Structure formats: C-alpha cells, structure tokens
Structure 1
Amino acid sequence: MSSKSKKKPRKSFRPTAPPFIDYLKDILRRYPDGGQILKELIQNADDARATEVVFIHDERSYGTESLWTDELGEYQGPALYAYNNASFTDDDWQGIVTAGRSIKRNDPNKVGRFGIGFNSVYHITDVPCVFSSGHLGFMDPQEKIFGERNEDFLWSLDDAEDQEALMTMHDQFQPFRDIVSLVSKQEWSEIVTEDQRFDGTIFRFSLRNKKSDISDNLYDSNRVADLFDSFIADADLSLLFLKNVTSVSLIHINIHGTVNTRLEVKSSVLTDVVLESENELIIESSTRFKTITLSSGKNKETKWLVTTCTMKEGNVENLDSLAKKLSFFPQVDLAFPCGEKRDCSESRLSCFLPLPNNESNKTGLPVYVNACFGLTDNRRQIKWQEEDQKHDEHAVWNELLMKEVLP
C-alpha cells in the first residue's frame, strides 16, 4: 500500500454545547436575582391559564428519618413554594427539563417564552421539586443525589410502588402534605390513592444554605423577605395586563407553623362597561374598567381604564411578516389610573408584567403601556434600534408597535 493511500486520523472539529451546570451558571450571571424570579413563576402560571398564584415562605424544617435517599436530608429545611391552580400537561413535564428549548416559543399568546424563565429559580435552590397532575418530581442537575438514574426521582400517582412510597415515607413528603392541605384543603391520601391526580401545581424550592457547583448564592429568611418586598413594590401593577391570573398571595409560615398572609392582590373587571372600537377595518379594540385590590392589614383599591388594541392583518406589511416570524402579537394595551392624580414620570412599560422601575422603562405619558415587546434576554429592557443593532428584528418590531399600533 502506498504511503499516499494511508490517511492519518483527522482531529474532531465541531461545535459542542457546554455542560448543563455551566449553562445554568451563565444564565444566573446574566439573569438578575430578586423579584423577577417571582414574576417568571407568575408568567408561567398565566400561560397555563391559572387564575390563582400563592407564594409561601415556610421556615419549618422537616424530619430526615424516612427519606428516599440520605442525600435528600439537607433539602428538608426552609423553602419557598409557588402554587397555582392549573395542572401540568405532558408538554409541561417535558418542557421543564428541556433547558433552553422553550416549548412556548412559537405561541404568541404565551408570555413565558420571554427571558430565561424557570431556570432563574436556581438562584435560590439546587433541587427544585414539582408536584402536579399525576407526578411528583425532584430535579437534580448536579447529579449528586440520584446520580444519572433519571427515572429515580419522578414518582407517578398511578403506580402502585410509587403510591406506597408517597404514603409511607412521611418525612420525605411531609412538606408537600402540609402545603397541599394549606392551598387546596385536600387530604394527601385522597389525592395519592383515590384521585391519583393533583389539580394544581406546587413548586418547592429548598433554600440553598451552603455553596454548591451551581451557585455560591446563599438564601436565608431575610433574602426571601427581600424577594417578597420587591414584588410588593409593584403589586398594584402586577395584575394589570395579565390574561388569566386574577389573584396573587404572599404567605409566611414561621418555625412553629403559624400562617400569616403578608399580601393579597386581586383584580376584577367591570364587564358591564365595555367600549368597542369604531375603526374596525384597521384595529380591534375594547375599553373596560379594571379594579386592583391590595390587602395587607389595610385594603387599598385602585381603578383603571384599560384599552386593548390589536392591529388587523394586512394594514402594516412589515408588522405582519415579523409577527409571523417572531411569533409575536401586534397588540398594545394602555391603562389610565382613575380617581387619583399620578405624575407622568410614574408611568411605566410592561411586557405583561411591569418591567423594572428604571428610566429606560418610563413612558413619560399619562398612561401605562403594555405590549408583546421584544426584550433583552434577561427581561430587563426593551430592545430599540441603535447604531449597532439597526437590523435586530426585535428592535424593528418594537419601533413598529410604537409608531403604528400605539397611535
């Protein structure tokens, strides 16, 4: 065989994805810790058509005798829970473990495809847990508890062996028993053995109390109180433009099990006052009164006049093509506060939930403006056409919304 016919082995040269832990760290570096995490969880609930969301800061620690594996003992301490009254679908179970590939991305009616979404909870916890519809699952991205045996930490309510574990491992599942009882008034045994289904969703985020491969960000009671405070600051705007969620509560449970509601915010629409648009060839719009009620010791009620306006297809060519390409919705909502004088400098932009209270998100108008904006990936700012991103499609879309739909 001639030397020319011998081929030396070629070196591999192809792009590869980073390990999942590195991917998570990168998200946490770019994505802010703080109240935005609660907003992401509210958005996911709104997407799932939930009407009620409850956040619970539970300072109790639970037993460590009857556990699925000893390594889970360190996650039996204080936790943040997020409950909503919608159930997981099969797509949801797939989507929550398919990082970076949002199943909502092509649905213009879904809010949750913006930003990094669920993965922001890793600021708080190393082991997120979820109980919904027919399953209870523990996620272990560090593979320290269950190793790589992925099947080991998803329990199914219609499986006899899993049912027995859910009923007999009292310490392991007591946190869920207690929260299920609080939010749904149902018995654990009834859900697990009779219904074999939980109509709702409970996330449990045990607070990180020591440094891990994911983050050295430690969470204690004060940090959760700060999370709640940052949400309370925007509470009167939080339900203004959501499609489904009409109630959000913040609850604190101390080490003795005493339950205290810090805040409850509710929205209601006066359905008997609806003004339809006259210019029906170009836009669809309606105007109605919306009332936001805050309860935290004393009640505060604000009334808003909210107009929703959607540009019909065929009126703005570039808007139509971008709407299809980006899976965005050509809609702008305006909210005017009634019965109280507010300075124009207070008015803010929202992308279904209020954007951070900084100068770039102020409208300078007497109305609050909401739209399906193209945002930076950390959901902090709206993209605009600047010198270095004149052709960014999200920025072009935002300009069209402001120039064509808003007027």
Structure 2
Amino acid sequence: MFQLCPMMIHLSLTVKNCTFSEDVRNLNEDTGIVFVHPDIAEVASMLGITSLTKRTLEKSTVFIPWGQKEPLTTTIANELESYADGFSIPKELLQNADDAKAKRIGFLYDERENKDLQAKLFDKGMAECQGQALWVYNDAMFQQKDFVNILNIGGKTKLMDNDKIGKFGLGFSSVYNITDVPSFISGDTLVVLDPHLNHLGDAVQKNEPGVRVKITKNILTIYKNQFKPFEGIFGCKLDTDDDGNFKFKGTLFRFPLRTYTQATRSKIKSTEYRKREIIELLHKLISGAANLLPFTQNVTELVVYHLDGKSCNPELDQQLLYKVAKSNVGSEDEPFLQTVVARNHLHEVSKQISRIQKIDIKFNFTDKIQLLSTHFKPFSGKQSWIISWDTGKTLFDLEKRLRKNGAVTIGSVAIPVDSQGKILQLSKVPEGFYSVSHLFCFLPLPQQTSLP
C-alpha cells in the first residue's frame, strides 16, 4: 500500500513534505511520494499541500516550460517595421497630446552631453543615457489610465474611446525609432522604460522593463543627476513644496538619442541617431508642421527649440526656431468631435450635426532657424481656412459595425481662403502647407487625393 500521511500529527511537516491527489490507486509504489488520504484531497489543497502535478514538476526532466512568448524588444521592432522614422514620430506624439486635451506641444533638440552627470543615477547603466536628447512637452498631465495605456504596444487602448483621434496609430512605440530608453515626468511621477533591461540595473523589480517613481525631495536628493537634465526644460523646476512634494503641471518626455554603442546591441533598431539624423527629423517636422493643426481637436500651438551643447542654463539658453499656432475666427465652439460624442451619449446618434468654422494658422520661422538648416529662411505669415464638419444623414452598414468598436463617423473638408474670404488654389498657399490635396484622419496621411 502507499504511505499515507496522518493529517492530525505534525501539520507543519505534513504541509512541507506531503502531496495530494484525488486518485492514487494506479500509481507505482516506488514513487517515493508521501500522499495524504485521497478522501481529503480537497481539504489538503485548501491547506496549501502540494499537488501531485506540482510535486512531479519540481525535479522532473520530463516536464519542461514550453509556452509561446515573444520578447518585448521583438514586439516593438515588429511594430516599427510598418512605420518609418521622421514625421511619424512627432505626428504620433501630437496625436497623444491632442487626446490628452493639451493645448500646446513643444519639441527641443538638446545637444548637451552631460558628462558631469554620470553618478547619482538609478544605476550606472543609466550613464549611457545622459547625452544628447530630443525633448517633447505638452501642457496636459497624465491621468492614472495613461500610465497604464502607455505600456501597451500600438494605439489599441483607445479603440473604445470615441473622443480620441489616436485609435489606429502606432502610438508611443514610435519613439523607439530614435531611442532605447524613453523617460518622462508628469505630475509627481517619473517613468523610465528600458525594454532591453540593459540600463536600469538594480532599479528593476520583478524583471519588469521599466520603473515608475513618485518624485519626492528625498528621491531628488539621492538621484540628483538622474533628474538634473530636466531642470529648466519647458519650465520644469526640480523644486518641492514645504511638505517635500513635487508636481510638474504638464508632461515632459526625454528621448536620449540612440548611441553607436547602443545601436550595435539594440534588438529594437540598429540605427544610431546623431545630430545629422535629428536635424533631418526636425526638418521634416517643421516642413509639415502647419499641416498638423487644421483638424486637431485640442492642440492649437506647436513650437520647436534648440539647446546648445555648452548650455549651463537651459531656461535662458534654449532658442526658439519655429512656431505655428491655430486660432478660431469669430467663435470659440467646443471641439466638433466632443460635440458629436456628447450627442451620442444622449442617444441622439441619428441627428445630423454640422458646423462651418474659420481658422487662422500663423507661423513664424525665427532668425535662429538657420541653426537647424540653411534651407529655411526667417519669415512669418498667416493662412486662413474654412472648415466644414458634418456627421452625415445616413448610417451605413459598415458604420453600424464600427460603432461597436467606438467609431464615430465624421467628414470634414478644409479650404484655403485669402484675406477677403475668396478661395485660394493650394498651389498658392505658403510653404509649410500641402500644395496638393491630401487625405487626413484628423492628422495628415501620406496619401494625395484628386479633389481640387
């Protein structure tokens, strides 16, 4: 017979050494396993006694973990294959800012190497990420769900948010085109993401590829140089109140440019990002920035700055290169998408909603623009647009199906007009706007149309 363990004696020893199974009749006596009586298997499970399967796996060479899995770096790399770097990066970040109801977004190329900030970091591996960086700022703070959503690959977390324009894009993952270790401050929180697990070292917990840190006076003191690059960038002050609390009213991303060393071992992208590459990216951004604003629902201003590598006072030294801003003419209506969503919540889906809107888009290439590229010349101007919004009168079968995934049907057309309100040909609009018709999904798509 099998050896049965008496449950009433030496319970602590029993829990450690005994095993339960609902059926021990067909087991070989030579297993060397001590079983509790099969009639009390259910009770044994509740007491934490090890099951036969788990006991077998403990020393087994027959059972081997063999589940499907894919490294995070591979997942991100596969996502990036569908998106070129350059214009897609600022476009996705503006989309996220618009969904967060930010009014302003800013980009800054920081050439500082910060070689004096190599200690007092989360780990010595972070020293590699203290050099040149692209900063991106918006004036909206992260909500709790945003901290969760940013961990998801792609824009799928917004599918059921029908007041968001960023449903179907690549999302935050686009930044991995230029960096391996993105970080950001929002409110009282710093987040550092390290998909390779190469840089955070001892700061990593439970093998999670990143950390989320509540910023306090004590944290700012212990890890002083981890935060120092943020000082003075888009108004970020590393100060705390009398209670030792910190709060930044906005969101400030830091994307340290991928170095040659990082590129040689990166499983995400093997492209080094140097000054030449970042200038090319900013050139694409500035060349198309005016096209980003006509249909945005919240963002009305985009700025681009440069910070010299020798700067000791970023707040004073950052140079404005370019600014573009949108304003409504004669009205301050709530965003059209917000109006439609509100009507939907009131079950007024069948009612047609229309709006005619006039906007001015003003742009300014400052005299510092040639620090970036001699292609640009300092000048400023304005272009007015008439925009027609409409939800249509008829629900199509496709729309009915897509509504289940949070889709909202909206059509819109933007037409350039002169100062007298007369329609202009696109070929007559200033540099920075498309000279031929393009399709948009709130933000521009790389697809021309045959519309006039």
* 3-state secondary structure, aligned to 2:384: strand
1:201 matched residue in structure 2: 251
Residue 445 of structure 2 is aligned to residue 365 of structure 1: no
1:296 to 365, 368, 383: 365
The one-letter amino acid paired with 1:308 is W
Structure 2 residue 195 is the aligned partner of structure 1 residue 141: yes
Give, in whole Å, the separation in 1 of the partners of 2:71 and 2:329.
51
TM-fit CA distance, 1:38: 0.6
Flag the 1:193–1:73 CA change in 2: closer, same or farther, 3 A.
Answer: farther
| Higher deviation after alignment, 98-107 or 126-135 | 98-107
Corresponding position: 1:153 with 2:237: no
- Correspondences of 1:166-177 after superposition (within 5 Å): 166-177=220-231
Partner of 2:409 in structure 1? 330
Q: Using the alignment, how far apart are the partners of 1:230 and 1:101 within structure 2?
A: 23
Contact 1:166 1:192 in 2 (8 A): no
Deviation, structure 1 residue 11: 8.7
**CA-to-partner distance for each residue in 1:86-129, whole Å, 9 max, x for gaps?**
00011011111233573212112212222211111111111100
Percent identity, aligned pairs only? 30
Shift of 1:317: 4.1
1:56 to 95, 108, 117: 108
How far apart, CA to CA, are the structure 2 residues paired with 1:309 and 1:235?
25
Per-residue deviation, residues 161-183 of structure 1 (Å, max 9, x unmatched): x531213433221111231xxx2
Shift of residue 191 of structure 1? 6.5
Give the 3 Å change call, closer, same or farther, for CA 85–101 of structure 1 in structure 2: closer
CA distance in 1, matches of 2:121, 2:70: 33
Alpha-carbon distance between aligned partners in 2 of 1:175 and 1:242, rounded to the nearest angstrom = 31
Deviations 1:34-78 (A, max 9, x none): 111110000000000000000111000222132221111111100
> Aligned-pair distance for 1:337?
0.3
Q: Which one of the candidate residues 380, 388, 407 is aligned to 1:307?
A: 388
Runs of 4+ in 1 over 6 A off after TM superposition: 9-15
1:232 CA drift (Å):
1.7
**In 1, Cα distance between the equivalents of 2:171 and 2:158?**
11
Q: Map 1:185-224; keep pairs closer than 5 Å.
A: 187-190=237-240, 196-210=246-260, 211=263, 212-224=266-278
The residue identity in structure 2 corresponding to 1:329 is: V
Q: Find the aligned partners of 1:32 and 1:317 in 2 and give their Cα distance.
A: 34
TM-score normalized by structure 1? Answer: 0.77
Where do 1:178-257 residues align within 5 Å? Answer: 178-179=232-233, 183-184=234-235, 187-190=237-240, 196-210=246-260, 211=263, 212-257=266-311
What does residue 383 of structure 1 align with?
A: none
3-state SS of paired residue (1:155): strand
Q: Residues 209-251 of structure 1, C-alpha deviation per residue, up to 9 Å, x if partnerless?
A: 1212322111011111111111122222110000000000011
In 1, distance between residues paired with 2:240 and 2:193?
Answer: 25
Out of 247, 268, 271, the position equivalent to 2:327 is 268
Bigger Cα Rg? 2
| Cross-structure match for 2:81 | 29
What residue identity is the alignment partner of 2:178?
Answer: I
Normalised TM-score (structure 2): 0.70
Residue type of the alignment partner of 2:248: F
Alignment of 1:378-389 (within 5 A): none
* Unaligned runs of at least 5 residues, structure 1: 4-8, 367-407
Verify the 8 A CA contact 1:31 1:120 in the aligned structure 2. Answer: yes
Over the aligned positions, Cα root-mean-square deviation in angstroms equals 2.9
Name the amino acid aligned to 1:306.
I
Partner letter of residue 448 of structure 2?
K
Q: Which residue among 332, 342, 364 is the counterpart of 2:426?
A: 342
Looking at structure 2, the residues matched to 301 and 91 of structure 1 have their Cα atoms a distance apart, in angstroms, of 38
The 1:288/1:126 distance shift into structure 2, 3 A limit, reads: same
- Specify whether residues 272 and 154 from structure 1 end up closer, same or farther in structure 2 by C-alpha distance, changes over 3 A only: closer
